[in-house]
Amino acid sequence: MKTIVIVGCGSGIGLETARTLSEKYNIIGISRTKHPELDNINLKFYEKDILSDNLEDIAFPDVIDGLVYAPGSINLKPLNRLSEEDFTHDFAINVLGAVKCIQKLLPNLKKSGNASIVLYSSVAAKTGMPFHASVSASKCAVEGLTRSLAAEFSAQKIRCNAIAPSLTDTPLASQLLSTPEKREASAKRHPLQRIGNAGEMARLTSFLLSDDASWITGQIIAIDGGLSTIKL
């Protein structure tokens, strides 16, 4: 059975991905918090803050077939209220944390022969939105990283793709969806007239990890209700 590492499995898309994959793969989950539902999922869990903790004491198997990096941020402010620390933190959680995990696990991924890395961008990386300067900048970096690593790792048969969601109903987005009015307004911004859910992201993640996606690499796949490409 293949082994998948999910970083950020304690909430939102990472948690749903762990739930979706746990019946098909051996899962190693890493998160700074442990959601109670993880006790009901077949995985080996390590409580770590990916930015400040090292991974040296985790006994990773010799071969790892997939890496999912799910931590992210939604830091929406006007530019004049964004500090340098805001930009630094968003870049750290979205980009540097992913780099840290990939560098650590690269020798294990190389031994798979058909490994897959899945990162997460955002609809805001390609679609200009007010108050998204910091998160957009870091997610654009994720997209550049995805394409660069896909090229660099292709000889080792390691695929690298990113999913670019629009607003998704997760704890990370709770402040944006905290009232029925906010939910309705957010839904109406999308051509398909609703917001996304974590299950949809998890199922796409599962596909990109699978052998069915073995000829897909270097792609940024939008799952955003049409927001990035359709104007009604």
Per-residue confidence (pLDDT) for residue 182, from 0 to 100: 81
pLDDT score for 89: 96
Give me the CATH code for the 3-169+197-223 domain, please. 3.40.50.720
Of residues 205, 225, 202, the one with CA closest to residue 213: 205
pTM of the model: 0.95
What is the pLDDT, as a whole number, of residue 209? 98
| pLDDT digit string, tens, across residues 187-223 | 899 999 999 999 999 999 999 999 999 999 999 999 9
First to last CA, the chain: 46
Q: How many residues does the chain have?
A: 232
DSSP string covering 189-209, please?
A: TSTTSS-EEHHHHHHHHHHHH
Strands 66-69 and 115-120 come out as parallel
Low-confidence ranges of the chain (pLDDT < 50): none
What's residue 179's pLDDT?
85
Q: What is the pLDDT of residue 170?
A: 85
Q: In angstroms, what CA-CA distances link 134 with 74, 79, 83, 131, 228?
A: 9, 8, 9, 8, 19
Query: Can you give the residue ranges of every domain in the chain?
Result: 3-169+197-223
Judged on CB neighbours under 10 Å (0-12, 13-18, 19+), 90 is buried
